[in-house]
């Protein structure tokens, strides 16, 4: 089990941007969109067999032709004076039916990704994921940024539309990042890489739906491209977002009127400038979350 490099690009001090699927696929859509726009070139992969169950088989005329596994691939791009390595994991190596990676396999996967970062002398690692937030789906999602060292805080404060955990209402600077998008940040710290996780906000009532949330991916990508000093055209994400928004609206209309009324109030939440009819109180926040949870529980029980 290990890394297979198809070529060894000559890179000086690249940065690594890594992502795996997660809630709303926010991080992976952002990272993969950037990889696509920049036409980064594949140069290696992590061998999948011990991490994943196969995802596809092809049998032709009775003969097993091939077995396909979820991919974990590395790409690189030189861009003026900048060099970027992308890592895209098609699945998180989960165990025992869990949604996110944890335990030995997750740690091993994070280590392998960072082995490549070390080999090519990466000086910075970015990961990306989702931040479940009390926002409305018509609002522009913010980006929650978590660095793995205090020295990066000042830099993050200069990013637009970005908040630190200490800026999040009621968080007090604390929280968790589940799965490999978070774990990589920690393993990077252990191995001496500076790293930042950028998480796009997704409305609390959408976190359980099997839908991507490209609106938040766009927010992440805006921050990421600004941080990298790269200009990117985000039209593809806008198109994707429009399609998803239609489905979200359809779902939203199915929510009972009483709960929807509560959720509608989130439209008026503004983070930088309180808007009329005034911010939602802590008690109201709690009620909204409880109502949404009840609704999903009932929906789940109903099949």
Partner 1 sequence: MLGWSEDAGDLGRKVTDYLNLKLNGQEFAEVDPEDFFPMGGVAIKGNIARFPESKFYTCPEHKLAILRTDSPLAEWYKFLNSVLDVAERHCRVRELYVLGAMISFGAHTAPRQLIAVVNSTEMKEVLTQYDLNRDMDYQTQPGERPTLNSFLLWLARKRNIPGVSVWVPIPFYLAAMEDPQAQRKVLSFLSERLGLRIDFSDLDQEIGKQNEQLAVARSRFPQIDDYINRLESNLVLSQEENGELAKRIEEFLGEGD
CB of 127 to partner 1, least distance (A): 26
- Please pick, from the candidates 8, 12, 95, 293, the single residue that binds partner 1 as defined by CB under 8 A: 95
CA 18/CA 223 separation, integer angstroms: 15
Indicate the residue among 59 and 154 with the shorter CB distance to partner 1: 59
Site for partner 1 contains 267 (CB under 8 A):
no
- Please pick, from the candidates 55, 123, 140, 267, the single residue that binds partner 1 as defined by CB under 8 A: 55
CB of 97 to partner 1, least distance (A): 8
CA 27/CA 256 separation, integer angstroms: 30
CA 218/CA 234 separation, integer angstroms: 7
- Please pick, from the candidates 4, 56, 158, 174, the single residue that binds partner 1 as defined by CB under 8 A: 56
CA 233/CA 290 separation, integer angstroms: 39
CB of 64 to partner 1, least distance (A): 5
Binding mask 96-115 for partner 1 (x = CB under 8 A): x-------------------
Q: Do 232 and 202 contact (CB within 8 A), yes or no?
A: no
The piece of 31-39, 47-55, 134-142, 238-246 that touches partner 1 (CB under 8 A) is 47-55
CB of 94 to partner 1, least distance (A): 10
Q: Do 141 and 199 contact (CB within 8 A), yes or no?
A: no
Q: Considering only CA atoms, which of 220, 301, 296 is closest in space to residue 251?
A: 296
CA 82/CA 12 separation, integer angstroms: 9
CA 289/CA 25 separation, integer angstroms: 22
- Helix extents (H) in 103-256: 104-119, 153-157, 180-190, 214-228, 235-254
Beta bridge partners of residue 269, listed in sequence order: none
Site for partner 1 contains 63 (CB under 8 A):
yes
Site for partner 1 contains 62 (CB under 8 A):
yes
- Please pick, from the candidates 59, 170, 176, 272, the single residue that binds partner 1 as defined by CB under 8 A: 59
- Burial class of residue 139, CB neighbours in 10 A (0-12, 13-18, 19+): middle
- Please pick, from the candidates 2, 7, 39, 61, the single residue that binds partner 1 as defined by CB under 8 A: 61
CA 24/CA 48 separation, integer angstroms: 24
- Please pick, from the candidates 57, 99, 153, 270, the single residue that binds partner 1 as defined by CB under 8 A: 57
- Please pick, from the candidates 4, 7, 64, 235, the single residue that binds partner 1 as defined by CB under 8 A: 64
Site for partner 1 contains 4 (CB under 8 A):
no
CB of 51 to partner 1, least distance (A): 8
CB of 92 to partner 1, least distance (A): 15
The piece of 57-65, 143-151, 175-183, 276-284 that touches partner 1 (CB under 8 A) is 57-65
Distances (CA, A) of 30 to 115, 213, 223: 23, 10, 10
> What backbone torsions phi and psi does residue 86 show, to the nearest 5 degrees?
-105, 145
Site for partner 1 contains 5 (CB under 8 A):
no
Residues forming contacts to partner 1 in the complex (CB under 8 A) are 49-50, 53-64, 66-67, 95-96
């Amino acid at each position: 089990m290990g890394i297979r490099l198809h070529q060894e690009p000559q890179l000086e001090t690249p940065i690594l941007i890594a992502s795996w699927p997660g809630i709303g696929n926010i991080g992976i859509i952002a990272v993969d969109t950037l990889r696509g726009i920049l036409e980064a070139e594949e140069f290696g992969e992590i061998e999948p067999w011990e991490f994943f169950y196969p995802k596809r088989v092809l049998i032709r005329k009775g003969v097993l032709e091939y077995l396909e596994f979820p991919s974990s691939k590395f790409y690189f791009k030189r861009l003026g004076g900048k060099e970027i390595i992308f890592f895209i994991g098609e699945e998180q190596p989960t165990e025992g039916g869990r949604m996110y990676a944890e335990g030995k396999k997750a740690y091993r996967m994070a280590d392998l990704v960072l082995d490549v970062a070390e080999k090519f002398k990466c000086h910075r690692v970015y990961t990306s994921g989702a931040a479940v937030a009390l926002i409305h789906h018509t609002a522009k999602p913010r980006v929650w940024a978590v660095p793995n060292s205090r020295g990066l805080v000042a830099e993050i404060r200069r990013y637009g539309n970005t908040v630190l955990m200490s800026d999040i209402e009621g968080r007090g600077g604390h929280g968790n990042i589940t799965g490999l998008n978070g774990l990589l940040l920690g393993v990077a710290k252990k191995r001496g890489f500076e790293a930042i996780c950028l998480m796009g906000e997704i409305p609390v009532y959408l976190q359980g739906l099997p839908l991507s949330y490209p609106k938040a991916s766009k927010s992440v990508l805006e921050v990421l491209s600004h941080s990298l000093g790269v200009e990117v055209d985000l039209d593809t994400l806008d198109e994707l977002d429009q399609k998803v928004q239609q489905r979200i609206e359809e779902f939203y209309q199915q929510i009972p009127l009483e709960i929807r009324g509560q959720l509608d109030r989130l439209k008026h939440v503004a983070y930088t400038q309180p808007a009329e009819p005034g911010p939602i109180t802590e008690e109201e926040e709690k009620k909204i979350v409880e109502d949404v949870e009840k609704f999903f529980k009932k929906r789940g029980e109903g099949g």
